[in-house]
Amino acid sequence: MIYSYPKTAKRQTPKLQIDDIISIHALYYSSYPFPDSHHVSIQQHKTLDIVTLFHKAGSPASVRAATVLKQASANATESATEDQASDHSHQTNPHRPDFELNITEDPPTADQLKTILEYVGKNKISSVIKGATTENEALKKFKESADNLKRPVVVDWNNGKAIASDNESEILKMLNQLNDK
């Protein structure tokens, strides 16, 4: 014998209301074996600081600066990966700067150059542009020839710092200050 529902009877599907969902969620997490701080993880992801190297491949000084920056970037990435896999409560080195490294052989734009000159300060304009002592001279000489830019130039855009040097300790000092803000 085959049973069938009368055509007038409608099959009801339960509809969950928001209160039901909240109750189910609360019930689930109240039976969770760990304290609340362990099962709910809210991480704030900070935007990485951007560090740019205005590079000249044929310059030994620029190649040294690129090497220092690449090693620091690789170490920071490696440290970040280790930290994510370990307990954060006892980090051995809190000064591991993690940053986005841009290496370019293109010269800076005029606006970028103005910003770089602001970052280095009036007393160090000549370290960025050959033969210039003022911002106006620097912009004029740069406009005449982009080769007047003394490379390498390392710029930390987020923290307003720039150095025109391959000095490893100066570069590393700048990078270590990325996390000190």
- Sheet containing 161-163: which strands, arranged edge to edge? 99-104, 49-54, 153-156, 161-163
- Cβ neighbors of 145 (< 8 A, separation 6 or more) are none
125 lies in a domain? yes
The enclosing domain of 157 has a CATH number of 3.40.30.10
The beta-strand segments (E) located in 24-116 are: 49-54, 99-104
Which pLDDT value is given to residue 177? 87
42 lies in a domain? no
> Which tokens belong to 78?
């490696």
pTM: 0.67
CA angle 56, 53, 177 (to 5 degrees): 150
pLDDT per residue of the chain (181 residues) written in tens, 0 to 9: 555 555 555 555 556 566 665 665 555 555 544 444 444 445 556 688 999 999 999 999 999 999 999 999 888 766 555 544 554 444 444 455 689 999 999 999 999 999 999 999 999 999 999 999 999 999 999 999 999 999 999 999 999 999 999 999 999 999 988 866 5
Total domain count for the chain? Answer: 1
> Which tokens belong to 154?
């390392």
* Domain of residue 143, residue span: 49-83+95-180
43 lies in a domain? no
Which pLDDT value is given to residue 89? 42
Which pLDDT value is given to residue 150? 97
